[in-house]
């Protein structure tokens, strides 16, 4: 990065990034190639000694869903085996120690600075977490947390995202009346683009998921059958819970956006899910992930009231000793190799912090 003046000090460098933050935010909504270029540039900046010291973190929690052998056949909706393996190898090479969530939280609580810790988490309870990811984690001796909604193993989950995927995989012409859009998608690229557009539309208001039921019914798509195809069943989940590397966490009963529910309903979603899982696996369930990451101070209190000890979000970020909120733990989502390096450099967090006018305290001054 020779564009920076040799005498540039940390404040000047951060000021430069502050002016550039709007560009970074805009670029991250562009196509994957542009994103990777931005991520690559960010990671190179983050590797500069002046930023490495200032943006250092003690731990990171990683967020995964599906680990797919053939990501293209699933419209690139999960993490490829190659990227998953690369991520674990890269973490080892960079000196990050793979530990369980319990161990990570415990080490942070006692201010253990001997190592940096990485935690693997998987949301929803997908079958390929066991058939594909588990052998890889066994080779790496990597503990992991699986957050499971009740509706996945009981097959009652209204998994609209699986229905949408099957819809676009099975048809070249798709009409979403609730959105007022018809998609002509006969190739992989157009199917991925169309699926992404409808998914974004649902994410703007998660109640829209129910508006897709008519098109699923008309197309002969059964969410119950998809649940059986994609998610672990109760027997498999009980077996997994006994694996020495595995921990089971909560993920609500029906996977709603908790922030859209009244307090009584949201608490029931959390508490009933915890009771169900503890009865199923006959082990304590101490941790939870908020579905869709939809949470705020109210949900943090509800998670505590439901008996959980930690809760993870979908907010991108790493863990710092001095500002750990156990009921709003950020996680790192990985879409590519450059994204992994950029996220773990901390430079994107620095940009976001400056955009919000937050000051990041150097680790050496904590």
In the chain, what are the domain boundaries?
1-55+346-366, 56-156+231-345, 160-224
Q: What is the pLDDT of residue 106?
A: 93
How many alpha carbons fall within 13 Å on the CB side of residue 38? 21
| Helix spans in the chain (H) | 10-27, 32-46, 49-54, 81-93, 101-109, 128, 134-140, 160-170, 188-204, 213-218, 223-230, 234-241, 263-281, 297-305, 337-345, 347-355
Residue 5 pLDDT grade (very low, low, confident, very high; cuts 50, 70, 90): very low
How far is it, in rounded angstroms, from Cα 299 to Cα 270?
10
Backbone phi, psi, residue 62, to 5°: -100, 140
Q: In the CATH hierarchy, which top-level class contains the domain 56-156+231-345?
A: alpha beta
Q: Which residues contact 251 (CB under 8 A, 6 or more apart)?
A: 123, 124, 125, 147, 148, 149, 273, 288, 289, 291
Q: What is the pLDDT of residue 32?
A: 63
How far is it, in rounded angstroms, from Cα 68 to Cα 77?
9
Radius of gyration of the chain, Cα coordinates, nearest whole angstrom: 21
Q: What is the pLDDT of residue 135?
A: 98
Strand 59-64 relative to strand 329-333: parallel, antiparallel, unpaired? parallel
pTM of the model: 0.84
* Beta carbons of 228 and 121 less than 8 angstroms apart: no
Residue 345 pLDDT grade (very low, low, confident, very high; cuts 50, 70, 90): confident
pLDDT, tens only, 164-183: 999 999 999 999 999 999 99
Residue 31 pLDDT grade (very low, low, confident, very high; cuts 50, 70, 90): low
Kindly state the percentage of the chain with pLDDT values over 90.
73
């Amino acid at each position: 990065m020779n564009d920076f003046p040799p005498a540039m000090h940390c404040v000047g460098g951060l000021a430069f990034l502050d002016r550039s933050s709007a560009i970074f935010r805009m670029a991250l909504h562009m196509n994957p190639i542009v994103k990777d270029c931005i991520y690559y540039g960010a990671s190179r900046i983050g590797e500069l000694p002046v930023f490495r010291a200032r943006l250092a973190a003690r731990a990171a929690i990683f967020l995964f869903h599906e680990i797919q052998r053939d990501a293209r056949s699933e419209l690139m909706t999960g993490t490829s085996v190659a990227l998953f393996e690369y991520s674990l190898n890269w973490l080892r090479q960079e000196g990050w120690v793979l530990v369980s969530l319990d161990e990570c939280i415990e080490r942070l609580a006692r201010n253990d600075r001997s190592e940096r810790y990485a935690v693997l988490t998987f949301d929803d309870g997908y079958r390929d977490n066991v058939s594909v990811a588990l052998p890889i984690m066994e080779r790496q001796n990597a503990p992991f947390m699986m957050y499971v909604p009740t509706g996945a193993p009981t097959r009652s989950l209204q998994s609209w995202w699986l229905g949408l995927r099957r819809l676009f995989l099975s048809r070249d012409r798709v009409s979403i009346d609730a959105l007022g859009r018809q998609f002509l998608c006969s190739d992989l690229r157009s199917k991925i683009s169309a699926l992404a557009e409808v998914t974004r539309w649902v994410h703007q208001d998660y109640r829209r998921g129910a508006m897709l039921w008519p098109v699923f019914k008309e197309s002969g798509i059964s969410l119950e059958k998809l649940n059986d195809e994609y998610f672990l069943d109760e027997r498999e989940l009980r077996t997994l819970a006994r694996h020495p590397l595995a921990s089971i966490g909560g993920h609500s009963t029906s996977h709603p956006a908790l922030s859209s529910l009244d307090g009584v309903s949201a608490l029931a979603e959390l508490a009933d899910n915890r009771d169900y899982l503890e009865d199923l696996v006959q082990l304590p369930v101490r941790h939870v992930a908020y579905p869709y990451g939809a949470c705020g101070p109210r949900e943090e209190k509800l998670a505590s009231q439901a008996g959980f000890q930690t809760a993870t979000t979908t907010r991108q970020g790493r863990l710092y000793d001095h500002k750990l909120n156990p009921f709003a733990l950020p996680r790192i989502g990985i879409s590519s190799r450059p994204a992994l390096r950029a996220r773990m450099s901390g430079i994107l967090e620095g940009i976001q912090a400056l955009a919000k006018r937050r000051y990041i305290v150097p680790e050496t001054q904590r």
